[in-house]
Amino acid sequence: MLPAESGRSLPAPAAESPLLEWLLVALKTMTRTKVKQILKHGAVSVNGIAVTRHDYPVRPGDRIAIGRDQGSGALARAGIAVAYEDALAIVIDKPSGLLTVATNAEKLDTAFARLAALLAARRSGRPFVVHRLDRETSGLLLFARTASARDRLQENWETAAKTYLAVVEGKPRPAEGVVENFLVEGRDLRVRAASPGGEAKRAISHYRIVAENRANSLVEVELKTGRKHQIRVHLAGLGCPVIGDKAYGAATNPAGRLGLHAWRLAFDHPDDGRRVELESPLPEPLRKVVR
């Protein structure tokens, strides 16, 4: 969570409640859309800390305020939203089109660089990479705040739960199941199913359809392994490529982006092992396709 500017104070909550639900009552003269926008841009502070999570718990005695101009502050300028932060871990909601870390082709504008600049502006140290998302995949991306926290998170990464939402062409059959095979990356950087052995790595995805219309389906995918392009290859193998994924056979791109979103993330905290569970709403361009 981020340091907040001072602003208009609100009455303390009478009972524990998720922040958004409480704000909708406290700011009943505002529309729901406006309240969500204020929250999204870090304009709400709880006990002096800016909070963007809808489900952040507020309690009696909490000091809650609306900042004067948080939306034009460092968080908005960075172009990223912080979903969770404490002294050892920080999770951002990465937009589609942004690399996680630098490559030979793009060295400057990355999620890591934006977050590093944000923390530097706050004099709050630097981030450490824990895992990665593809450039065109949006959603929850975890960084550590110290090298030792990174090491502990990576050591326990197999216990993390990573669940994605994918908008695909057609309807996978059966509507729920498990895809398990071996994947290998070719010299052309594309990933393909392969026989066991050599550089091929075992890959397991659990999937189920959660919504569908005539042309597309919204599929929930839980990763049991974390191979490169695993979801994209597995869904294409079911005959239902992710929309916008021309590399793996998609013929349509109704959202103008890859239809893959890192929806839920749960991990053991590197300090005390408590379970941290987070969720990022499906972006509107993808929601429209399967509405």
Catalytic residues: 134
Judge contact between 16 and 59, C-beta under 8 A: yes
User: Among 190, 283, 196, which Cα is nearest to 230's?
Assistant: 190
State the pairing for strand pair 260-268/138-144.
parallel
Cis peptide before 254 (omega within 30 of 0): no
Say if residues 235 and 221 touch (Cβ distance below 8 Å).
yes
In this structure, what is the dihedral angle of CA atoms 209, 82, 86, 71, given to the nearest 10 degrees? -150
End-to-end CA distance of the chain: 32
User: Strand ranges (DSSP E) for the chain?
Assistant: 2-3, 7-10, 17-18, 44-46, 49-50, 57-58, 64-67, 81-85, 89-94, 128-129, 138-144, 161-169, 176-185, 191-194, 201-212, 216-223, 260-268, 275-279
Return the biggest CA–CA distance within the chain: 63
Asked if residues 53 and 15 have their Cβ atoms less than 8 Å apart, the reply is no
The helix or strand, by DSSP H or E, that contains position 152, with its residue range, turns out to be helix 147-155
Residue 134: strand, helix, or coil: coil
